[in-house]
Structure 1
Amino acid sequence: MTNYNISSIDYPLHHSRLRKLGLIGGLSWHSTLEYYMYLNQTINDHFGNNTNPPLVVINLDQYYMHQLQRSDRWDIIAGMLIEACGQLYKAGASAAMFCANTPHKVYHDVQAQSRIPILHIGDATGAEIRKKGLRKVGFIGTIFTMEEPFIAKILKEKYDIDMMVPDKKKDRERLHTIIQKELSLGILKPETKEYILDQIVMLETMGAEGIILGCTEFPLIIGPNDIKIPIFNTTLLHAQMGVDFILDSDF
């Protein structure tokens, strides 16, 4: 049997300077794929060749995660994310990302027990909104991100941005169901897109200057050409934050 000495691999100098990033995905795998594609393509474009970034991906079970959410077992969800961060640390990752908005509900509990920093999707989104000079934005996402303050709070306290959501409970519940029962399964219906656009128009009439697609599945069905006001795609903004970390830019 041949012994291979992997410790002697001589990577190109530019690659050795890239920081390894850990992705906690599967929430859903469709949006995790968007993260993975964006990170690789943007690093390719940066170097002008097919240099790929050092990534470690952990794929969690979204079906189980949804069961835990419905049962309000966020303690178990936090434990799963803490375990995943530990696995990423052991694999050599210098930072981690939750590849979805909703897990950030337990961000502070997980970060407190993680040995590596976790890049927050709210920071990626808030910084871009401030860059555009906006102060009031609409937000659509899961029932948790719309009704609980863990995203709205970081936008307000760190970036002085007011966040509004659809005012009717039934609309928030339907958006949540669309995410879990359709988009996270890759089901993209024309009538679903029309309903989401109607909700965005309602937020615009309430004074929203831009719209946060606050679930990483929404960009699968809504694009920047679908509405007139600015769209903030949390998937791409968060992934760009990951690119900046890998390249050691702005960190």
Structure 2
Amino acid sequence: MGHEFEATDVAEVDATPEQVWDAIATGPGIDSWFMGRNEVEGGTGGVVRGAFGGYKPEYRIREWDPLEKLVYGSDPAPDGRKIAYEFLIEGRAGGSTVLRCVTSGFLPGDDWEDEFEAMTTGNELFFRTLVEYVTHFAGRAAVPVTAFGPPVGDWPAAWARLGTALGLSSRPAEGDRALDGVVYAANDQTVGIRTADAMLRFIKGFHGPLVASHHVFTPGADAETEEKTWSDWLTRVFD
């Protein structure tokens, strides 16, 4: 059966169109708010490549209008699966910018609901992280950090355990103070924390583990070292 979808996110941010464009149209920019490691071959017909664990998607750039519009997406798979991202940028008087992101595509099969829920909650976190990035870290490039924890069998208990590890009395909620920062996003499957030098994100993995998908802005940060540190942390908390 499958499911065709389209979702729109909009925010006015305290950043210039140039800063927003750098965030969405360059590898270091995307590294600083999306997931995994990314590279961009700019221009219409170019490619956006990602790497997150063993997942390595490629998206063809369909529209490239610097400071105004960027559209890229995957080619349809044999089963019809596809996804596309459209970013629209509108500068405002006073230096702010309105950013609109439209995510659309098709999920195949009769069991698309769980994947759609995971994608929807994940995209909510990614857009919120993009807004936090251009608001608080514009012009800085992050080291993307990806670490996988042990398999989780009881998710309500796991989220409560995460809260305890962060010094909270319950599951993290938006506005909570944790790790010398603030929880800027929280939904059923994700938590995002902004500190002075990082955005730390915890995501319910689609196939079992809790995933740390962080962005570290500390000068000299090393991805391999950070990933081992967070992998060990997840094991201590959830094993």
Q: Give the alignment's TM-score, normalised by structure 1.
A: 0.28
Higher relative contact order (CA 8 A, sep 6+): 1
- Greater share of strand: 2
Based on CA coordinates, which of the two structures has the bigger radius of gyration?
1
- Greater share of helix: 1
Q: Give the alignment's TM-score, normalised by structure 2.
A: 0.29
